[in-house]
Structure 1
């Protein structure tokens, strides 16, 4: 049965004064690869924090490890569209989910499925982080409105449950900005970090950083330093960008 606990729609974090903050692209059950990328930047779990654009599960071999990562005090993801399948596992389109990598979930016991659903139901739709240079936001796919203040209002004070669900789905599924190359940005933020669309390298459109570079397939994990907005590996300065799929 789908969990009925209230989802924390926006999670807020003060500036990290002890260490560094990084954001990572879609994980899709490849936590060993992610850890290898963290090792290359000298990630220190004692003081550093890792923020995730979501899609922790499906398609990869280590989906069951997601709960262990959620227990790490330095790991903070938003809810991706694949994570949302877990939350609504008893009402979602199971055939579509299985076709997109969700078969691992059907192999779990009912008790294990409920444990996953309860944990994933606590994932926020959006995260905002204070930095010395200004506020940085994180959502999975796209910001469906022109300003962060407007998105915050849509999530925290929705006109109806139907409108709230529509906004949540657009945050988790939309590719409008990347598809049309919209460089208008999102007002009220220093930067917005998103994933969802696999690219050959990270792409910056206005103040929106698209960092899913296919670390879960044949690409690589991009880590974004949230304070400096530097990408590891660095973005190739050649103009234009290509989709992975």
Structure 2
């Protein structure tokens, strides 16, 4: 098993006072399409920041380009369930991963797989962004607790490694909120931005906004870019 660095599981960003903060849904190896969407929205990398709900790789043709994107100082993703496969490539369910688009990774030399794993291990599980209107939370799939504070505490001060893994799995995999159309929201946030479940249009349930509109499905989907100040599409 490869050694992974200790990284903060919750990463906080101060308010952007010079440009826009934009969130985007699942990318899945379609960085050219993402770049085109950013250009259409007049994204300015000199002052704007792009926050991603994760699932950067698998399914699309440009998965290796992710390392270049992770080096961009304005690009800030959380870890999605597909990204987590990379972190644990030597212990995960490889058959399930390949079935869900991970074949490209298995063809890489071991040294490159370790390079990807080290880079992806630096991704936080959750991001919080200060805005003039209130705190915005970002995770891949869901906050499985009534309040953001409770989830933050579970991630930062877990009672055990097993408990931490359970919580992280729910954050990266759960679809219960969208499946059940729960509208109670998450306390302590102005809004929570999530992806994971492909939809035709963004869906808001309470203060939880689902923005994976399948930009990685070129024939039928599009990338939703959400302005975190206005909570409107950019």
TM-score (norm 1): 0.93
Residue deviations 1:69-122, cap 9 Å, x none?
A: 000000000000000000000000001100000000011111110100000000
* Equivalent-residue separation in structure 2 for 1:3 and 1:175 (angstroms): 31
Q: Which runs of 4+ in 1 moved over 3 A?
A: none
8 Å contact kept, 1:28–1:57 = yes
SS of 1:224's equivalent in the other structure is strand
8 Å contact kept, 1:137–1:191 = yes
Aligned to 2:152: 152
Aligned to 2:165: 165
Mapping 1:1-245, distance limit 5 Å: 1-217=1-217, 218-232=220-234
Query: How far apart are residue 5 of structure 1 and its match?
Result: 1.3
Let me know the Cα RMSD of the aligned residues.
Answer: 0.7
SS of 1:231's equivalent in the other structure is coil
* Equivalent-residue separation in structure 2 for 1:50 and 1:42 (angstroms): 12
* Equivalent-residue separation in structure 2 for 1:170 and 1:78 (angstroms): 14
8 Å contact kept, 1:3–1:87 = no
Which structure 1 segments of 5+ residues have no match? Answer: 233-245
Residue deviations 1:30-72, cap 9 Å, x none?
A: 0011111111110000000000000000000000000000000
Which structure 2 segments of 5+ residues have no match? Answer: none
SS of 2:130's equivalent in the other structure is strand
* Equivalent-residue separation in structure 1 for 2:142 and 2:3 (angstroms): 25
Q: How many residues align?
A: 232
* Equivalent-residue separation in structure 2 for 1:34 and 1:46 (angstroms): 17
Query: How far apart are residue 220 of structure 1 and its match?
Result: 0.3
* Equivalent-residue separation in structure 1 for 2:152 and 2:163 (angstroms): 13
8 Å contact kept, 1:55–1:80 = yes
